[in-house]
């Protein structure tokens, strides 16, 4: 989908100066190409403004001079809200009509499976009753989908994966901009989910699609039941997540991270490789790898145990 910049700005109530270039998507300042729209709404990304390759940027007037000469400034005092309004242009159009998938050899597909358009299945794929495979989905060879799995449009599922019943992959991330009147405006989630080879996903998990770009589940990762992975997360290779783990948006886990049951992360942080988070641990900031953490907020487990012992002594001595 490609639109003239003038079409987008007219719809969201903005004017601009410059050539009426064609726009085919939205991305971050650092990732946007010369045919994409971007936005700036946080001073922590100031250093990215001079380097952006975006065709146009939604931005407050006081920062516009920092943009390169090749980028058009779309002046607004509500760049995040205007981003939300723009995102609908690039939302995937859903249709009820599907098409028979392109299948490799030896596939076993239950007759009660529904497919969207342009689905590709590798060799020896097994899909059981009640599954829905959306438009432009790829499922790798020797992968098994248990009953009632949903793969939203654009999902890429690797080889030798197992996805258990009730899991939804590629649903919308939880993203909204807010008006001055307190109304919530949907940011259309126009990215996708990529699950690499040899991943197992338990029952009733939800893995959200990226707002733009990709949510990644890297190879060899094993997810237990009832896990929530939010938009734009990047789960490192051979990670283990026990039941009811919750990862907020843009969490990055290094390889071989272990997260205990009901542990969780705040968004926009990194957990280093070979880290263990004890059950119910709450990660509120980036953590160094190769260590074990516990508690809320999560701290190194040796210190957490000392704190628990000290608290117990205080209570007993009252």
C-alpha–C-alpha distance, residues 282 and 263, integer Å: 6
- Range list of β-strands (E), 8-119: 22-23, 25-26, 36-39, 56-59, 72-75, 102-103, 108-109, 114-115
C-alpha–C-alpha distance, residues 69 and 288, integer Å: 39
Q: From residue 286, give the alpha-carbon distance in Å to each of 59, 197, 269, 272, 306.
A: 28, 27, 5, 8, 22
Reply yes or no on whether 231 is catalytic. Answer: yes
Angle at 247 between CA 241 and CA 248, to 5 degrees: 175
φ/ψ of residue 301, rounded to 5? -65, -30
Look at residue 270 and give its three-state secondary structure.
Answer: strand
C-alpha–C-alpha distance, residues 2 and 114, integer Å: 29
C-alpha–C-alpha distance, residues 119 and 125, integer Å: 13
Beta bridge partners of 25: 36
Look at residue 179 and give its three-state secondary structure.
Answer: coil
Whether 146 and 184 have beta carbons less than 8 Å apart is answered as no
Which of 92, 146, 231, 238 is an active site residue? Answer: 231
Task: Using the structure block, give the residue that is written with the tokens 């939800």.
Answer: 206
Catalytic residues: 231
């Amino acid at each position: 989908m490609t639109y003239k910049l003038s079409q987008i700005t007219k719809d969201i109530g903005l004017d601009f100066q410059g050539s009426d270039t064609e726009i085919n998507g939205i991305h971050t300042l650092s990732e946007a190409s010369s045919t994409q729209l971007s936005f700036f709404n946080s001073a922590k990304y100031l250093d990215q403004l001079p380097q952006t390759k975006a065709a146009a940027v939604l931005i407050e007037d006081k920062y516009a001079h920092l943009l390169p000469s090749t980028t058009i400034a779309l002046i607004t005092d509500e760049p995040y809200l205007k981003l939300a309004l723009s995102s609908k242009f690039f939302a995937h159009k859903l249709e009820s009509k599907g098409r028979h998938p392109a299948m490799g050899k030896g596939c076993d597909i239950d007759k009660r499976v529904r497919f969207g358009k342009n689905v590709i299945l590798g060799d020896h794929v097994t899909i059981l009753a009640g599954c829905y495979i959306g438009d432009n989905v790829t499922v790798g060879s020797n992968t098994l989908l248990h009953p009632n799995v949903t793969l939203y449009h654009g999902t890429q599922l690797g080889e030798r994966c197992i996805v258990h019943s009730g899991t939804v992959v590629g649903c919308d991330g939880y993203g909204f901009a807010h008006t001055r009147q307190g109304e919530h405006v949907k940011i259309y989630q126009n990215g996708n989910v990529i699950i690499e080879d040899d991943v197992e996903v338990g029952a009733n998990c939800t893995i959200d699609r990226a707002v733009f770009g990709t949510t990644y589940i890297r190879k060899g990762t094993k997810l237990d039941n009832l896990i929530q992975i939010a938009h734009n997360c990047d789960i490192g290779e051979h990670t283990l997540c026990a039941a009811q783990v919750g990862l907020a948006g843009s969490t990055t886990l290094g390889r071989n991270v272990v997260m205990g049951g009901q542990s969780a992360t705040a968004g926009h942080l990194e957990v280093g490789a070979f880290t263990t988070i004890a059950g119910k641990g709450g990660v509120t900031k980036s953590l160094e790898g190769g260590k074990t953490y516990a508690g809320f907020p999560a701290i190194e487990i040796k210190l957490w145990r000392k704190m628990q012992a000290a608290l117990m002594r205080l209570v007993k001595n009252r």
